[in-house]
Amino acid sequence: MRTETPYNPLDKKNLGVSVADALLARQIGPLPPAERFLGAGIYALYYSGTYAAYKAIAAADKEGKTPVPIYVGKAVPAGARKGGLGLDIPAGAVLYNRLAEHAESIQGTKNLDIKHFACRYLVVDDIWIPLGESLLIEMFSPIWNRLIDGFGNHDPGKGRYQQQRSPWDVLHPGRSWAEKLQPHSKSEKDLLKAVETYLTKKPKA
């Protein structure tokens, strides 16, 4: 006789699903959002442009399929970033500011256009933010999270430019501080081949 596992709404994964579903139920809008807002939370970025390596991602929206995020991220209050839970700490506009930073990074590149990007975002109670982000990454395996990392990086500062340029900055050069970093061990050609392989093998959402 088969035993059914009882559904537990408070199970960690089920709680994560509820946060992810709430984000995915929101309308996709411009990056950055037109109006500044307060709060911390999670977000997903979408691409619909003409960069050849990402044609499989851009095609989803044009073909009427469920849009697949190119990147998923979170913005937490400053206290949470320093190792605390961040509970009840005023978040300020951290989520909006993070989206605005991403828009600035894209605008600084030589081969991406901000008009081809959009976002969904959700203001979330602090404790659920990491869980929601982790589940969304697991669900979609966004290429800028899983393979071409470095999009969310900041200027490491003077004296720290001995580290490698990120794969993202190799494919999308233009951020002035990234130009000061050391060359990456993989060439642009190598990374483009990896992108092609990844998007060919990755299950479609």
Q: Got the DSSP string for 125-189? A: -GGGHHHHHHHHHHHH--HHHHTS--TT-----TT-TTSBPPHHHHHS---TTGGGSBPPSS-HH
- Report yes or no on 20 lying in a domain: yes
- Report yes or no on 1 lying in a domain: no
Which of 145, 154, 201, 199 is closest to 181 using CA atoms? 154
Measured in whole angstroms, the distance separating CA 182 from the mean position of its chain's CA atoms is 24
- Report yes or no on 118 lying in a domain: yes
Alpha helices in 108-128 (DSSP H): none
Domain that holds residue 188: 12-201
**Residue keyed to tokens 């691409």:** 47
Q: What pTM does this model have?
A: 0.88
- Report yes or no on 7 lying in a domain: no
pLDDT, greater one: 88 or 26: 26
- The pLDDT of residue 9 is 55
- Report yes or no on 5 lying in a domain: no
Q: Are 177 and 108 in contact (CB under 8 A)?
A: no
Q: Look at the chain and report how many structural domains it folds into.
A: 1
Give per-residue pLDDT as tens, 128-180.
899 899 999 999 999 999 999 999 999 998 878 899 999 999 999 999 999 99
CA 193 to CA 170: how far, in whole Å?
13
Give per-residue pLDDT as tens, 48-107.
999 999 999 998 766 667 789 999 999 998 765 555 555 566 779 999 999 999 999 999
